[in-house]
Chain A
Amino acid sequence: MTVKKDKFWDFLSSVPLAVALLIILAATSIIGTLIPQNASYEDYLREFGPVFTKVIETLDLFDMYHSWWFIFLLTLFTVNLILCSLKRLPPVLEQIKNPKRILTEEFEKGLPLCDTIRKKGSPERWKEAVKELLSKRYGTPYEEKIEDKAYLYFEKGRYSRLGVYITHLSIVIIMIGGLIGAFFGFRGFVNIPEGSAINQVFIRGGRAPYNMDFVLRCDKFTLSYYPMGMVKEYRSDVTIIENGREIKKDYLIVNRPLSYKGLTFYQSSYGVIDRHAKVRAFVKSGPNKGKSFELDISDKFVNIPFSSDYVKIIDHYPNLENFGPAMILQISEDGGMPVNFPVYKNLPDNDMNPQSKYFFKYLENEEHYYTGLQVTKDPGVWIVWIGCIMMMFGLYYSFFVVRKRVWARIYFEGERTAITIAGHSPRSRMFEEEFAKLLEDIKQINL
């Protein structure tokens, strides 16, 4: 029984399981990029047919990244990562605290990079010379003298092996941050008409609306454009009001959110509430031929004086077909079918609707908007960022800080001093050259 249990724990904390889980997570994650997530049931039926839709539904593939089996895989991955780290960390810590500092003849045999140089001069003076040379490269050594033999131990990048554990811990921290966000935060939205204020946020996923303890008013929504007509900026000027007092005036644009009391507002959409325009109508034919009127029109039909004709504005463009601002009007004459046509501000003489009794001139346009703001509360986001920063530190230590160890044993042998030098680094290929150079440098020293 205990053997079986041990085997189970060994399996759960093994690197092969980690590799397998990483590959499985990578492979299964592909599914959700091929099947659209969180679309409507009808869309799936149309796209995949009834049988396949049933299969997809059973496996939770409509929302696979939150499905029981994907969460299970992620949990298993996390458990594996924690157990794996816990199993390997104590010996690493022990080695960091108490590395093998004394180069015994026994220990030497296990080190491929090892050589002995024999030189004239006393061991004391050689110890100082070797220490001086190596300290420049590897820092202050540990020194010990046992039975007339002097031992030196240099270590650089001592903590590099902690990098992987910092990285693993950071993943756990990011997951904790994500869970806190999922359980204690929300994502919602508000639509605020210009001049109006709101204190309730609609939450996605059918939960009850969230009551804010302050009021957000949209003073103005502005669209601005590049010369070629592309949108340059969506901007909402807003005021935060608390207990009837204006606390703060600020603005939001995309990539410039506004945070207040744990809530963050993001510019995400907009819409037109109503349109108003001023035009001048010239009568081209009929009994009133030659007359002209200034008309205030809106997105509801208004009657053109002395007629049974109606006109309204249905859209406005800042730059229509590169001719600058234009409004789209709809006209219905003598109860006939409505006709749409543009009126350009910069082309006051162009008649875009020659069949009509009227010719229109662009005078003014005014639109009233509402701004659409995404609202989030995520108390876990800071934990996620701390995890991310930790992960970068961890990866830096893992990949860019290299642990290098050099041992020296200096003793009197016959008439000369023997200097045994050994070195070790996990990046042996690079270190081999460095070590050869080191031996060469010692050989060059003349006392």
Chain B
Amino acid sequence: MESSLFISGKLLSITTFVYFLAMVFYIIYVVSKSKTMGLLGTIGTAAGFFIETGGLVLRWVESYQMGIGRAPLTNLYESLVFFAWCGAGIYLAFEFYYKNRFMGAFVLPFISIAMAYASFSPNISQEIQPLVPALQSNWLIYHVITCFFAYAAFAVACGVSIMYIMKNSKEEKKKPLGNILSFFPSTATLDDINYKAIAIGFPMLTLGIITGAAWANYAWGSYWSWDPKETWSLITWFVYAAFLHARFTRGWRGKRAAWLSVIGFFAVIVTYLGVNLLLSGLHSYAS
């Protein structure tokens, strides 16, 4: 038991390091445009994703060996690791589809920060702990997977939106784009990726809120009670709903939509971390 616990922890530590390297490669790629660096970024992300998959599966197995037996999705450490896993998976899919590695320099930092925060913050326990009665439910798995899939998709959208805002601000002022920005995908493509990521994230977030409501109703008889976590998830939902409708409104496309995507991801971070760090409750990840 001890030795295998060692292995999952080891694998996830390696993952942190590999994602960090991938991020560095992507950034060097953006600055130098060395194709090798871009390729290394992709290889790093993919390798990190596979090692992390192994780490997560092993952690699940280990929890059974400890006689606890629950999915590795139940505390802040595990949720950050899972967020990074979803983010890397979704990012790789987008990179493959759009054949553009520049986005890596803007998306990998989110993944790297999540893993580094999980691994190095002294406040985050990496222990496998048993579940309190309130969390002993299959709804936990459905709820967490849908929410984090959404969060990761929104992280991709946010990264792309930042690229959009950078490139667009130069284009609007008719300034020369410079060496780096001119290699970004066109603003139209960035806008398209932003929309696609949110088109995946929004239904997932909706499903996450619905599964959360169903679980809340099952556990304590109220599907909605305006607690801060619920409310912030609804705020996030409102922001992305505004984004989706803004696309049909003249004057709200492009730049403002990109800003809404950034604001939306800010709401995601508050929903995910802010509420827990500032308030207590069932969603709190404390100890």
Contact = CB atoms under 8 A, between A and B. Distances in A.
Nearest to B97: A430
A247 interface: no
Interface stretch (A105-113, A320-328, A345-353, A387-395): A387-395
Interface in A220-249: 226, 228, 230-234
Interface string B208-223: 0010011001111111
A381 B223 contact: yes
A253 B213 CA distance: 19
Given A254-B134, A254-B136, A16 B249 contact: yes
A253 B133 contact: yes
Given A15-B248, A395-B203, A399-B199, A23 B239 contact: yes
A139 to B, nearest CB: 24
Contacts of A255: 133-134, 136-137, 139, 218-219
A19 B245 contact: yes
A71 to B, nearest CB: 13
Contacts of A232: 130, 133
Interface residues of B, number: 45
Interface residues of A, number: 46
A396 B224 CA distance: 23
Contacts of B133: 231-234, 253-255, 267
B214 to A, nearest CB: 7
Contacts of B223: 381, 384
B167 to A, nearest CB: 18
Contacts of B113: none
B132 interface: yes
A65 interface: yes
B231 A32 contact: yes
Interface string A257-285: 10000001011100000000000000000
B196 to A, nearest CB: 9
A26 interface: yes
B207 interface: yes
A358 B52 CA distance: 59
A3 interface: no
Given A33-B275, A65-B226, A255-B136, A429 B192 contact: yes
Contact of A15 (B203, B226, B249): B249
B252 A19 contact: yes
Nearest to B136: A255
B242 A22 contact: yes
Given A22-B245, A253-B133, A396 B203 contact: yes
A391 B235 contact: no
A123 B202 CA distance: 47
B31 interface: no
Interface string A343-375: 000000000000000000000000000000011
Contacts of A385: 214
Interface of A: 15-16, 18-19, 22-23, 25-26, 29-30, 32-33, 37, 65, 178, 187, 226, 228, 230-234, 253-255, 257, 264, 266-268, 374-376, 378, 381, 384-385, 388, 391-392, 395-396, 399-400, 429
7 contacts: A16-B249, A26-B235, A32-B226, A32-B231, A257-B219, A378-B221, A388-B214
Given A22-B245, A26-B238, 12 more contacts: A32-B231, A33-B275, A178-B224, A187-B222, A230-B130, A231-B132, A257-B219, A374-B221, A376-B222, A381-B223, A395-B202, A399-B202
The 5 closest A-B pairs by CB, nearest first: A26-B238, A376-B221, A22-B242, A254-B133, A33-B228
